[in-house]
């Protein structure tokens, strides 16, 4: 049974994983999810080794339970820096119109870290579980991690990607449906329009993938979670539901938008980072997408918008920062705890398994 295999391998009680959400997740959220019997995830994509070490130490101070560390596995494309100038000027103008004064230094590209820069600190710190998205580590990196007894969880948006990860010896795979909030995990094809719903993806993976599959995307309630397990998932990964939690570092305006009962829709955009991601539409996305100026690829656009996003967050301004969200809004009070989410879904899935 894949669910039992997964829980034993991850040393967790419930087949529930807190999605890694850079900018939203905190050591407190990661620890709370793990302490409640699920698997917490600590996102470190693009961060320096020193920053990673600090986050690991902070998380370990809060839990002795296993948790995953999530990497962005991608190559940094070469670009002509002069080609970034039109977007740099646009962001500067939009910021000024909004009341944010950005300096020339604020719009410079900083040191960009790849996952290869991060492996040494993960091994030195004794990390035993690494999840990743945007691609697959190269063969040398996989061997290095496996030699240090690190369990690997990849991300796939298609059957082809899942098969690729399985053939590379990855231990588990997150099946990311098109409904999922945040960045898309695709790496073999750039066309997001052809990516599948979670249900269709699980059905495609059911007979072709023998490693445990984790369902992610559009899982709003326990009934959705049970349905995904019935379709062959060994566990569920929840993201948007955790954004309004007390451990989340999302700004209050962001939490409130997700908690309102009025209908609100998420969109796919490259405006904030240069890579396709799903989130709530706002003024910045509209301005970028109607400007006619090409969006630089990830991580360059992500770097160009970084300071503006931080300024907007400091002002609780939901119109000029990313509001990643899946297609299903939580409609939950902002006082919900991460532990309560894990326990509610975990108990429902275990009860369903016993009932069957």
Q: Specify whether the CB–CB gap between 70 and 95 falls below 8 A.
A: no
What pLDDT was estimated at residue 269?
Answer: 98
What pLDDT was estimated at residue 288?
Answer: 98
What pLDDT was estimated at residue 285?
Answer: 98
Q: How confident is the model at residue 79 (pLDDT cuts 50, 70, 90)?
A: very high
Q: What average pLDDT does range 48-55 have in this prediction?
A: 98
Q: What average pLDDT does range 70-85 have in this prediction?
A: 95
Residues in the chain: 356
Listed in sequence order, the residues at least 6 apart from 275 whose beta carbon sits closer than 8 Å to its beta carbon are 134, 183, 184, 297, 298, 299, 301, 302
What tens digit of pLDDT does each residue of 232-255 get?
Answer: 999 999 999 999 999 999 999 999
Angle separating helix axes 222-230 and 338-355, nearest 10 degrees: 50
How far are the Cα atoms of 46, 248, 301, 313 from residue 304, in angstroms, in the given order? Answer: 14, 24, 5, 16
Q: Walk across the sheet containing 172-176 and list its strands.
A: 16-18, 235-238, 213-216, 172-176, 151-156, 129-133, 67-72, 40-43
What pLDDT was estimated at residue 295?
Answer: 98
- The pLDDT of residue 261 is above 80: no
What tens digit of pLDDT does each residue of 87-143 get?
Answer: 999 999 999 999 999 999 999 999 999 999 999 999 999 999 999 999 999 999 999
Q: What average pLDDT does range 289-309 have in this prediction?
A: 98
From first CA to last CA, the distance across the chain in angstroms is 13
How far are the Cα atoms of 77, 117, 193, 270, 287 from residue 74, in angstroms, in the given order? Answer: 9, 12, 21, 16, 28
| Planar angle of CA 301, 159, 132, nearest 5 degrees | 45
- Percentage of the chain beyond pLDDT 90 is 90
Give a three-class secondary structure readout of 189-207.
CCCHHHCCCHHHHHHHHCC
What pLDDT was estimated at residue 13?
Answer: 97
- The pLDDT of residue 333 is above 70: no
What tens digit of pLDDT does each residue of 175-219 get?
Answer: 999 999 999 999 999 888 889 999 999 999 999 999 999 999 999
Q: What average pLDDT does range 69-94 have in this prediction?
A: 96
CA atoms within 13 A on the CB side of 103: 2
Q: Specify whether the CB–CB gap between 27 and 81 falls below 8 A.
A: no
Among residues 276, 281, 241, 283, the alpha carbon closest in space to that of 258 is found at 241
What tens digit of pLDDT does each residue of 7-42 get?
Answer: 999 999 999 999 999 999 999 999 999 999 999 999
Among residues 300, 299, 304, 263, the alpha carbon closest in space to that of 284 is found at 304
Q: Specify whether the CB–CB gap between 186 and 207 falls below 8 A.
A: no
Q: Specify whether the CB–CB gap between 203 and 323 falls below 8 A.
A: no
Tokens linked to 207: 């007979």
pTM: 0.96
Angle separating helix axes 27-35 and 338-355, nearest 10 degrees: 30
Helix (H, G, I), strand (E, B) or coil at 213: strand
* Whole-number Å distance between alpha carbons of 29 and 325: 17
Query: Would you put residue 158 in left (φ > 0), alpha (ψ -120 to 50) or beta?
Result: beta
DSSP 8-class letter at 179 = T
| Domain residue limits, the chain | 1-76+113-244+337-356, 80-111+248-335
What tens digit of pLDDT does each residue of 267-288 get?
Answer: 999 999 999 999 999 999 999 9
- For the structural domain made of 1-76+113-244+337-356, what CATH number should be given? 3.20.20.70
Q: Among positive and negative, which fits the CA dihedral 333, 339, 341, 347?
A: negative
- The pLDDT of residue 1 is above 70: no
């Amino acid at each position: 049974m894949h669910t039992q295999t997964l829980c034993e391998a991850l040393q967790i009680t419930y087949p529930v994983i807190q999605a890694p959400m850079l900018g939203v997740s905190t050591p407190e959220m990661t620890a709370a999810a793990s302490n409640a019997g699920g698997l917490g995830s600590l996102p470190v994509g693009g961060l320096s080794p020193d920053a990673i070490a600090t986050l690991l130490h902070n998380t370990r101070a809060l839990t002795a339970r296993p948790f995953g560390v999530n990497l962005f596995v991608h190559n940094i494309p070469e670009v002509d820096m002069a080609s970034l100038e039109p977007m740099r000027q646009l962001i500067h103008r939009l910021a000024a119109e909004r009341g944010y004064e950005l300096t020339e230094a604020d719009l410079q590209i900083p040191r960009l870290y790849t996952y290869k820069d991060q492996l040494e600190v993960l091994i030195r710190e004794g990390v035993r579980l690494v999840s990743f998205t945007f691609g697959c580590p190269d063969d040398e990196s996989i061997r290095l991690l496996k030699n240090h007894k690190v369990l690997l969880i990849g991300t796939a948006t298609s059957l082809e990607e899942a098969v690729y990860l399985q053939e590379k010896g990855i231990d588990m795979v997150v099946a990311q449906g098109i409904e999922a909030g945040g960045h898309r995990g695709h790496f073999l094809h750039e066309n997001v329009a052809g990516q599948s719903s979670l249900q269709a993806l699980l059905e495609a993976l059911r007979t072709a993938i023998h490693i445990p599959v984790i369902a992610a995307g559009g899982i709003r309630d326990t009934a959705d979670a049970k349905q995904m397990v019935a379709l062959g998932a060994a566990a569920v990964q929840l993201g948007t539901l955790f954004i309004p939690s007390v451990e989340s570092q999302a700004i209050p305006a962001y939490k409130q938008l997700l908690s309102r009962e009025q209908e609100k829709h998420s969109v796919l955009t490259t405006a904030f980072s240069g890579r396709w991601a799903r989130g709530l539409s706002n003024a910045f996305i509209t301005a970028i997408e109607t400007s006619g100026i090409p969006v630089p690829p990830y991580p360059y656009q992500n770097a160009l918008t970084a300071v503006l996003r931080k300024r907007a967050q400091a002002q609780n301004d939901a119109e000029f920062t990313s509001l990643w969200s899946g297609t299903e809004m939580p409609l939950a009070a902002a006082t919900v705890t991460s532990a309560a989410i894990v326990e509610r879904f975990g108990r429902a899935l275990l009860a369903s398994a016993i009932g069957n």
